[in-house]
A and B are shown apart, each in its own frame.
Chain A
Amino acid sequence: MKIKQISVFLENRKGRLYDVCSLLGQKNINIRALNVAETESFGILRIVVNKTETAASVLKEAGIVARITDVVAIEVEDQPGGLADILKVLAQEDLNIEYMYGFIEKSSDKALMVFRFDDADKAVNILKKNNIKIVSEQGIREL
């Protein structure tokens, strides 16, 4: 139950993030979750969208460097300590998180978060075993 994320390489240039977002907007692609990793000289935009394959080909046609990667979307109780409970499980199970970020929308009274693990399949198994709710690709589309 992994979901697809699109990673976009952004060189350090004015308006580059705007270029990418406006292009997706024109093609009627909705961004569900977004995060920008920045370094001194470049950035990586990570997005989860409603139409992953379309978005990827739109970006490619525009000459934008992008790649689809696997991430896991997890439901987090929207209350104090909600995220900590999940992180505790991950720590106990020795699962390493590369990075994480939140969804813009909520499906219910739960918050949605994207997690990137070294090994997404292993992570999914462990999360299931610990009764942590994972959101499917279908679930994301229906948001």
Chain B
Amino acid sequence: MTLSRIGLALPAVLASTLVTAQEGVDSLIDRAVTPLSDGLSAIIFYEIPLPYIEQGVPFIVLWLVVAALFFTFYFGFINLRAMKHAFRLVRGDYTSPDAAGEVTHFQALATALSGTVGLGNIAGVALAVSLGGPGATFWMILAGLLGMSTKFVECTLGVKYRNEYADGTVSGGPMYYLSKGVAEEYPSLVLLGKALAVVFAVFCIGGTLGAGAMFQTNQAFSQLLNVTGGETSALNGYGWLFGLVIALLVGMVIIGGIKSIARVTEKIVPIMGVLYVSAGLLVIGMNIEHLPAAFGSIISGAFRPEGVYGGFVGVLIMGFRRAAFSNEAGVGSAAIAHAAVRTDKPVTEGLVALYEPFIDTVVVCTITALVIIITGSLVPGGNIEGVALTSRAFSTAFDWFPMVLLLAVLLFAFSTTISWSYYGLKSFTYLFGEGRNKELVFKAVVLASIVVGSSINLASVMDFADAMILAMALPNLVGVYLLTPVVKRELKTYWADYKAGRLQTYPQL
């Protein structure tokens, strides 16, 4: 055998082993995950049948909406009446200059937002309006407004029951309020609290690997393929390479501790967000004469949808569902990020967190929906589309926009993966304890799922991921309901102080 023949044969052999290995791994994962995924999905997405209507309400949507409604009424429309005060908190009017150098309300909010704003705002909204028509926007906005109350409660609890360690670092989130909070308030329910915390942590790890790592890279790669020519793209089939590059970059941040990459991303992501919103406003401005009609179709479509499967309730569910997927209110993830703020009044961070669903859903999602509707990109009875629809709507005004959108999708996916890997790590250390080697194992698993997510297309793993992330809302909201009286007490004292002018303000120089 000559050298050249070996040179030719080797890649072929390697390729064939890779293919068989991949098929083997695929079906292995598939076989292992399918029963679990089917079982969990069956519970989470169980459709509760409604009388007179063909379509049922998915259980998880009802679970999240009922919570949001309950908290909104129980706290007397805190989502609306506290917005002005919350804005002043974010601006720093109530932050003592002595706390300079600590995590501010603004920083905690911005960090939480960079984990929330992402593909849901771009692809999810397109999905909602292409399935439910313009009217879905109305219900999405309403769900966003109600979701603010849920965020308020969970983020207040996140700060109140966080752990502050002797070395000055903090850890917070549902794991801590479920175990510590429930134990403090209901001594007889200690075990329930512990169990809720463990279940939450397990789901959160699942959500991190699935929705945080696999799903993000998978969707980012599919937009990359779309822009570079779809099926005929030269990149087709190189998903694993894309996954490796992303895993390398993420690894440099979460394992290598290379702060510069994270810092650059954290600076560019808000710029992309602002760019996306301003481009959207510009497109709306260019079609300003159609704006009244667009609003008209949103309102009329919300109550008298034509030709939409499931009718009125179908549209309502579509809007609510996409809003819940996008702003994660009730899921508990954001409480982990918000818990890092430096404050002795937990309620303040809860109030600041009101802005998270507001910015994510009421502002960004609405702009996406308006752009799609106002540019006439929505074809009644047309295909159901995600990113592609948003991309086309923007390209009617600027033909170069799909490239910007690609960049935005890549960055949002990257920052969401980094945020989620932290949420997952916190859940992992909650279960298994802290330690350099243990944490390294978890981080390696996150990186591996990034590569897996972009190179294969396992529908069952994706379903599993979606189900996992929403399943976090089950243990989380049970605990949040139990701890609602705590938040009520805290809010009552704080609001009385605020109304009586007893809160110290610090005028900005």
* Same complex: no
User: Which residue numbers of B lie inside 8 Å of A, CB to CB?
Assistant: none
